[in-house]
Structure 1
Amino acid sequence: MSLHRLLDWRLHLIVVIVSLISEAIGILKIPLGPGTLLLLPLFYAFILGVLLNPHLFTATRRYVPESVSQAATPLILISIMPFIARFGSTIGPAIDQIISAGPALILQELGNLGTMLVALPVAVVVLKMGREAVGATYSIAREPNIAIISDKYGLKGPEGVGVMGVYVVGTMFGTLWFALMAGYLASLGVFDPRALAMACGVGSGSMVAACSGALAGALPGMADDLLAFAGASNLLTYATGLYVSLFIALPVAEWLYRRLAGKRRGAAEATPDAGMTAADVAPDERPEQHLGKTAAVLAVACAVGWIANTVNGSSLLTALPGMAILYVMTLIGLVLTRIVPFYLPGVAWVSLVSIVMTLPFFPGSGWIVERLAAVNFLAIVTPVLAYAGLALSRREFSMFRRTGWKLILISLLVFTGTYVGSAVVAQVLL
Structure 2
Amino acid sequence: MNDKSVLSSTMTKHLLDWKLHLLVIAVSLLAEWIGIIKIPIGIGTLVLLPLLYAFIFAILLNPNVIPAMNAVITKKRAKFASYAVLLSIMPFIAKFGVGVGPNIDEIIAAGPALLLQELGNVATVLIALPVAVLVFGMGREAIGATHSVAREPNVALIADKYGLQSAEGIGVMGVYVMGTLFGAIYFSLLAGVIASMNIMDVRALAMACGIGSGSMMGACSAALAEAVPAQEETVTAFAATSNLLTYATGLFVSLFIALPFTEFLYKLVSKFKKKSVDVAAETDFGAMMQEQAPLSTGQSFALLVVICVVLLLSNWVGQGVGPFDALPAMLILFACCVVGILLKRVIPFNIPAIAWISVVAILISLPQFPFNAYVLEETAKLGVLQLLTPVLAYAGFAISQMEVDLFKKSGVKIAIVAILTFTGTFLGSAFVAQIML
TM-score range, shorter chain: 0.7 to 0.9
1:34 partner amino acid: I
Show the counterpart of 1:218.
none
Asked if the contact 1:8/1:68 (under 8 Å) is kept, the reply is: yes
Q: Structure 1's 130 and 231: CA in aligned 2 closer, same or farther, altered over 3 A?
A: farther
* Deviation digits for residues 90-134 of structure 1 (CA, Å, limit 9, x no counterpart): 11222123223464x444533542443334534754543998986
2:306 partner amino acid: V
2:426 corresponds, among 407, 411, 418, to: 418
1:50 corresponds, among 53, 59, 64, to: 59
Identity across the alignment (%):
30
Show the counterpart of 1:199.
204
1:138 partner amino acid: S
Aligned-pair CA distance for 1:24: 0.7
Asked if the contact 2:121/2:428 (under 8 Å) is kept, the reply is: no
Residue 318 (structure 2) pairs with residue 312 (structure 1) = yes
Residue 354 (structure 2) pairs with residue 353 (structure 1) = no
1:14 corresponds, among 23, 27, 35, to: 23
Asked if the contact 1:113/1:249 (under 8 Å) is kept, the reply is: no
Show the counterpart of 2:162.
none
Q: Structure 1's 198 and 95: CA in aligned 2 closer, same or farther, altered over 3 A?
A: closer
1:418 partner amino acid: F
Asked if the contact 1:135/1:163 (under 8 Å) is kept, the reply is: no
Query: Secondary structure of the residue that 1:341 maps to in structure 2?
Result: coil
Show the counterpart of 2:182.
165
Query: Secondary structure of the residue that 2:79 maps to in structure 1?
Result: helix
2:373 corresponds, among 357, 362, 366, to: 366
Aligned-pair CA distance for 1:247: 3.0
1:244 partner amino acid: L
Show the counterpart of 1:138.
148
Query: Secondary structure of the residue that 1:200 maps to in structure 2?
Result: helix
- Give, in whole Å, the separation in 2 of the partners of 1:304 and 1:359: 28
Q: Structure 1's 122 and 100: CA in aligned 2 closer, same or farther, altered over 3 A?
A: same
Q: Structure 1's 150 and 241: CA in aligned 2 closer, same or farther, altered over 3 A?
A: farther
Show the counterpart of 1:394.
401
Asked if the contact 1:162/1:407 (under 8 Å) is kept, the reply is: no
* Deviation digits for residues 280-305 of structure 1 (CA, Å, limit 9, x no counterpart): x96x9334xx1111111110011111
Asked if the contact 2:96/2:236 (under 8 Å) is kept, the reply is: no
Deviates more, 1:306-315 or 1:401-410: 401-410
Q: Structure 1's 325 and 25: CA in aligned 2 closer, same or farther, altered over 3 A?
A: same
- Give, in whole Å, the separation in 1 of the partners of 2:91 and 2:307: 9
Aligned-pair CA distance for 1:254: 6.2
Aligned-pair CA distance for 1:197: 5.8
- Give, in whole Å, the separation in 1 of the partners of 2:380 and 2:41: 33
- Give, in whole Å, the separation in 1 of the partners of 2:372 and 2:305: 23
- Give, in whole Å, the separation in 2 of the partners of 1:179 and 1:129: 38
Query: Secondary structure of the residue that 2:99 maps to in structure 1?
Result: coil
Asked if the contact 1:196/1:423 (under 8 Å) is kept, the reply is: no
Query: Any unmatched runs of 5+ in structure 1?
Result: 140-144, 184-194, 214-226
1:117 partner amino acid: V
TM-score by length of 2: 0.74
1:293 partner amino acid: Q
Cα RMSD after superposing both structures: 4.0
Show the counterpart of 1:116.
124
- Give, in whole Å, the separation in 1 of the partners of 2:66 and 2:74: 11
In the TM superposition, structure 1's runs of 4+ consecutive aligned residues that sit over 6 Å from their partners are 129-137, 145-153, 209-213, 261-265
Correspondences of 1:245-284 after superposition (within 5 Å):
245-253=246-254, 256=258, 260=263
Deviates more, 1:125-134 or 1:403-412: 125-134
Residue 415 (structure 2) pairs with residue 407 (structure 1) = yes
Asked if the contact 2:48/2:189 (under 8 Å) is kept, the reply is: yes
TM-score by length of 1: 0.75
Asked if the contact 1:18/1:45 (under 8 Å) is kept, the reply is: yes
- Give, in whole Å, the separation in 2 of the partners of 1:197 and 1:35: 15
- Give, in whole Å, the separation in 1 of the partners of 2:411 and 2:140: 10
- Give, in whole Å, the separation in 2 of the partners of 1:301 and 1:132: 38
Matched length: 382
Show the counterpart of 2:165.
none
Residue 384 (structure 2) pairs with residue 377 (structure 1) = yes
